[in-house]
Amino acid sequence: MEGPLVPRPITMLGLESSCDDTAAAVVRRDQAGAVSVVSNVVFGQTELHRAFGGVVPEIAARAHAEKIDICVEQALGDAGIPLLNVDAIAVTAGPGLIGGVMSGVMCAKGLSAATGKPLIGVNHLAGHALTPRLTDGLVYPYLMLLVSGGHCQFLIVRGPTDFTRIGGTIDDAPGEAFDKTARLLGLPQPGGPAVQDEAALGDAKRFKFPRPMLDREGCDMSFSGLKTAVLRARNEVMIGDTIARSDVRDLCAGFQAAVVDVLAEKTRRAAALYLAETPSQPALAVAGGVAANTAIRATLETVSEECGMRFTAPPLALCTDNAAMIAYAGLELFEAGQRDGLDLSARPRWPLDNASAPMLGSGKKGAKA
Ligand code: KG4
Ligand code: ZN
């Protein structure tokens, strides 16, 4: 007779190289089911791209190819775990800048071929979407707002390969809007933190910015009109080439208030759709760089309370691109039986939810998510 199923400990190595961070990590789930990030190494490329005002795919790909094996070595070293002791190797296989994704996939294939360890291809967006299970142990299904420089979407997360997108931006992502607003006002990049700091000192009521698509049903959003509104308002208050600091602060405050209002209302609507399914432990999780915004976070927390949902936001290091999320998603996929062969391909596009209508746009900045 078979005894009760005792989960065995699993140690996963994860690799990530889909945009401008080369990352490797080791994640472990112990016999009791507790998950921990044993090591998490990220080599950023911000300096390499700074002069170009955005990520240059060729430069990114070369830097990934140069660094990925060093990164893996460091992650295993930090963890004190030899490669032969990991159970499997998980790697981002898309979506992303194809040269970078290929660097990671090639490296993971090499490691898998050399050691005989199983290879697991992971969707980068699934990595973000599953992070609250790693950090807060959320149970399926939960509602996720993925909000970054390249993406903005509401997902109902039901399992490691089971996602329903119930809405998202039809043009720019909010992070992109923060970055463009900062550029218009002469603030440093990335714009989010700078705009947030100025907004804290400004008057949010002085400029009346639009709240796009609130008049339309559903959870879709639009942020591209907002930056045009900021541009117009800025031009009205500029004297010659200069703009007063108080004007910058008021413009930032007005802009941020508009983003907050849109996200709050659309989150309420997404919550209504999600709660209609009567989840056993209702929860909203937010992820992506914009989740660092304190005003947005506070508002989402209030909306969650209103709707009777638990609210979680992973720590920033696990919200932005990292390999721990890839290792963790790989762990769930490994348990679900996924095994990839050496024919695993790198995919520039890879929607999480193939069943929902395609997005008109998911942020124009590029493949970063
Ligand atoms: O997730 P992430 O690190 O990378 C992308 O996928 O893009 O997000 C970066 C984005 C940038 O657009 C940045 O301006 C924005 O997140 N961001 C913020 C804040 N911190 C970072 N936006 C608003 N408020 C913040 N405090
Ligand atoms: Zn990402």
Shortest-distance atom of ligand 1 to CA 292: 26
The residue whose CA has the least distance to atom 7 of ligand 1 is 149
3 Cα–ligand 1 center, Å: 48
The residue whose CA has the least distance to atom 6 of ligand 1 is 369
The residue whose CA has the least distance to atom 19 of ligand 1 is 192
Q: Does residue 358 carry a pLDDT above 70? A: no
43 Cα–ligand 2 center, Å: 14
Q: Region 304-315: what's the mean pLDDT?
A: 96
Three-state helix/strand/coil letters over the chain: CCCCCCCCCEEEEEEECCCCEEEEEEEEECCCCCEEEEEEEEEECHHHHHHHCCCCHHHHHHHHHHHHHHHHHHHHHHHCCCHHHCCEEEEEEECCCHHHHHHHHHHHHHHHHHHCCCEEEEEHHHHHHHHHHHHHCCCCCEEEEEECCCCEEEEEEEECCEEEEEEEECCCCHHHHHHHHHHHCCCCCCHHHHHHHHHCCCCCCCCCCCCCCCCCCCCCECCHHHHHHHHHHHHHHCECCECCHHHHHHHHHHHHHHHHHHHHHHHHHHHHHHHCCCCCCCEEEEECHHHHCHHHHHHHHHHHHHHCCEEECCCHHHHCCCCHHHHHHHHHHHHCCCCECCCCCCCCCCCCCCCCCCCCCCCCCCCCC
Q: Which ligand is nearest to the CA of 179?
A: 1
CB-ligand 1 contact for 175 (6 Å cutoff): yes
Q: Which ligand is nearest to the CA of 175?
A: 1
CB-ligand 1 contact for 320 (6 Å cutoff): yes
Q: Which CATH number fits domain 10-131+319-367: 2.120.10.70, 3.30.420.40, 3.20.20.120, 3.90.1640.30?
A: 3.30.420.40
149 Cα–ligand 2 center, Å: 9
Q: Region 70-74: what's the mean pLDDT?
A: 98
How far apart are alpha carbons 190 and 206 in whole angstroms? 25
Per residue in 168-214, pLDDT (tens digit) is 999 999 999 999 999 999 998 889 999 999 999 999 999 999 998 88
Per residue in 320-352, pLDDT (tens digit) is 889 999 999 999 999 999 999 999 999 999 988
The CATH classification number of 140-317 equals: 3.30.420.40
In this prediction, residue 319 has a pLDDT band, given cuts at 50, 70 and 90, of confident
- pLDDT of res. 3: 53
Q: Where are the domains of the chain?
A: 10-131+319-367, 140-317
CB-ligand 1 contact for 124 (6 Å cutoff): no
CB-ligand 1 contact for 362 (6 Å cutoff): no
Per residue in 90-105, pLDDT (tens digit) is 999 999 999 999 999 9
- pLDDT of res. 132: 95
Q: Region 136-144: what's the mean pLDDT?
A: 97
Q: Which ligand is nearest to the CA of 191?
A: 1
DSSP-assigned beta bridge partners for residue 239 = 242
CB-ligand 1 contact for 368 (6 Å cutoff): yes
Asked if domains 10-131+319-367 and 140-317 share a fold, the reply is: yes
CB-ligand 1 contact for 289 (6 Å cutoff): yes
- pLDDT of res. 151: 82
Q: Does residue 361 carry a pLDDT above 80? A: no
**Mean of the per-residue pLDDT values of the chain:** 92
